[in-house]
Amino acid sequence: MTIPKPSNLIEHHAHLLQLGRSLSMADLSTCGSPEDMLARLADHAAELAPHAWILAHGARPESWPTPQWPTLDQLDRVAGGRPLCAWCFDYHALVANTAALRHAGISPDTRFEHGRVVTDAGGCPTGLLLEHAALALWNSVPEPSEAERPQLVRAACEHLRDLGFAEAHDMKAQGWLGSLLGDLDRSGELPIRVRLYALLEDLHHLHSTRRAWQTERVSLGGGKIFTDGTLNSRTAHMLRPYADAPPDRPCGMAMMSPAEIEHAVRRVDALGLPLAAHAIGDAAVRATLDAIERVRPGTPGFRIEHAELVDASDVPRFAAMGVIASLQPCHLLADIEALAKAAPDRLDRVLPVRELIESGLEPGRGVVFGSDVPIVRADPADSIQAAVHRRRANMPPEQAVSPGQSIPESTAWACFGRA
């Protein structure tokens, strides 16, 4: 029997500004081929002002029959001289055309410590950028003006409210976001509660100014770090090599060293705040748990975000150390093809929700659900589908990913918590 959707849910992992921006970008999530993607981009470009950037998100090449991005020449033809930037759904890879690469000052010779400019056999750029290379391109895109920010953030909050959420945790809060949200709340324009988790470079500012902007409905939750990348980009940090490992990074990409993670734990704990650590691969999850175990922070509420693959020996460590497993089961629906190609030997370790709960983590407190919107849509029904059935609704039961990790629907709803 299907359980009615509860109200006043908590979206434990969102990106409000990016969600607001994404609502006016081309949505590529339903494209099934490079040709579909190019057609969608062309349609979107036709609706824009002549010199506007062409921005898109949601592409899932791993799910296409031929999993390859459009070529640089194809992107240039669609853009007609305008800069174009299209994100992979996971926001850890994007494709850009020549005008956008030139605007960002990125060439085939540009080097990034934790990123890559992908080139073809002849050394020419393909337009594909990974991790910090993608971020560098995105940072060159004109930002919304200060005057435009309130509308974008308000639209994002209204979008989440309409999906049944009464609270959202922003997991990459900008330094100005607390003040903006405080103003919206005081003027009666904020439809949901918001808790902010900021990157370390923004955390000090938000922490030092919090008395000026915090309200009963807007608060500072903690700090945020990225310890690895994503599965689709093969940059999630793994204990063993990917089955289709890139030669230059067989186990993915560690974005932080063990010493750097430990430093972040100490720094945030010293402020009396918890840390939320992006860790998708099993090696990244272990490195984060190791750092927390070494420091033994006195502040409760430390979180590992995503934890898409967790080694069996690390599961009981969450409850033992009081670390929250902040999961996004809905990602399973988008990652099925990538998991089958990249980690067919460890599908039993994908999102071990049942094991985490059986080890002592309480649904809604120790195991919490979110979406990472706009990486994927925020509809909580997607995470319920993934957590209960471990597959897309249109797939046969035998294609479920690690069905032994399934949990009852009532337990899955409880993992969203109640505001």
279-312 per-position pLDDT tens digit = 999 999 999 999 999 999 999 999 999 999 999 9
Residue 374 preceded by cis peptide, ω within 30: yes
* 239 vs 20: CA distance, rounded Å: 36
252: left (phi over 0), alpha (psi -120 to 50) or beta: left
Q: Is residue 318 part of a domain?
A: yes
Identify whether 182 is part of a domain.
yes
The stretches of 279-344 forming alpha helices (DSSP H) are: 282-295, 315-321, 330-342
Give me the residues paired with residue 117 across strands: 129
Average pLDDT, the chain: 95
227 and 340 in a single domain? The answer is yes
Q: Does 202 map to a domain?
A: yes
226 and 111 part of one domain: no
Question: What does the pLDDT read at residue 92?
Answer: 82
pLDDT tens digits, 202-246: 999 999 999 999 999 999 999 999 999 999 889 999 999 999 988
CATH code for the domain in which residue 362 is found: 3.20.20.140
> How far is Cα 372 from Cα 354, in angstroms, rounded to an integer?
21
230 and 278 housed in the same domain: yes
Same domain, residue pair 135 and 179:
no
Neighbours of 100 (CB within 10 A): 28
pLDDT at 278 over 90: yes
CB-based burial, 38-72: b 16+ in 10 Å, e otherwise: bebbeebbeeeeeeebbbbbbbbbbbbeeeebbbb
Q: Give the pLDDT score at 2.
A: 65
- Each residue's pLDDT tens digit, 27-73: 998 999 999 999 999 999 999 998 899 999 989 888 898 889 999 99
Q: What pLDDT, on a 0 to 100 scale, did the predictor assign at position 152? A: 96
Q: Residue 393 falls within a domain, yes or no?
A: yes
β-strands 125-131, 93-96: how paired? antiparallel
Q: Are 293 and 325 in contact (CB under 8 A)?
A: no
117 with 195, same domain: the answer is no
Distance CA 45, CA 39 (A): 10
- In the chain, what percentage of residues exceed pLDDT 70? 100
Burial of 391 (0-12, 13-18, 19+ CB in 10 A): buried
- Amino acid at position 70, single letter: P
pLDDT given at position 403:
97
Cβ-defined contacts of 316-320 (< 8 Å, 24+): 316/359, 316/360, 317/289, 317/293, 318/289, 318/356, 318/359, 318/361, 318/366, 319/356, 319/359, 319/360, 319/361, 319/366, 320/360
Domain limit, last residue, from 79, 112, 140: 140
Asked if residue 1 has pLDDT above 60, the reply is no
Backbone φ and ψ of 363, nearest 5°: -60, 130
Number of domains, the chain = 2
Encoding tokens for residue 200? 């370390």
Q: Is 38 in a helix, a strand, or coil?
A: helix
pLDDT grade for 5, boundaries at 50, 70 and 90: confident
In a domain, 4, yes or no: no
Q: Is residue 21 part of a domain?
A: no
Please give the average per-residue pLDDT across 316-338, as a whole number: 95
CB atoms under 10 Å from CB of 322, counted, come to 15
Clarify whether residues 232 and 299 are in a common domain. yes
When pLDDT is averaged across residues 190-196 and rounded to a whole number, the result is 98
User: Is there a single domain that holds both residue 112 and residue 259?
Assistant: no
Which residue in 213, 224, 230, 228 sits closest to 89, CA to CA?
230
- 353 and 205 share a domain? yes
Regarding whether 386 and 329 lie in a shared domain, the answer is yes
Are residue 121 and residue 233 in the same domain, yes or no? no
Q: Could you tell me if residue 3 is inside a domain?
A: no
Q: Give the residue numbers spanning the domain of 95.
A: 29-88+91-140
What pLDDT, in 10s, does the model give residues 135-160? 999 999 998 999 999 999 999 999 99
* CA 348 – CA 222 distance, rounded (Å): 32
Domain CATH number, residue 125: 3.10.310.70
pLDDT at 340: 93
Instruction: Count, in order, helices (H) and strands (E) of the chain.
Output: 15, 14
Cα–Cα dist 278/243, whole Å: 23
In this prediction, residue 396 carries a pLDDT of: 95
Query: So what's the pLDDT on residue 114?
Result: 85
Would you say residue 262 has pLDDT above 70? Answer: yes
Q: How confident is the model at residue 89 (pLDDT cuts 50, 70, 90)?
A: confident
273 shares a domain with 161: yes
Q: What is the pTM of this model?
A: 0.87
Domain assignment present for 1: no
Same-domain check for residues 327 and 346: yes
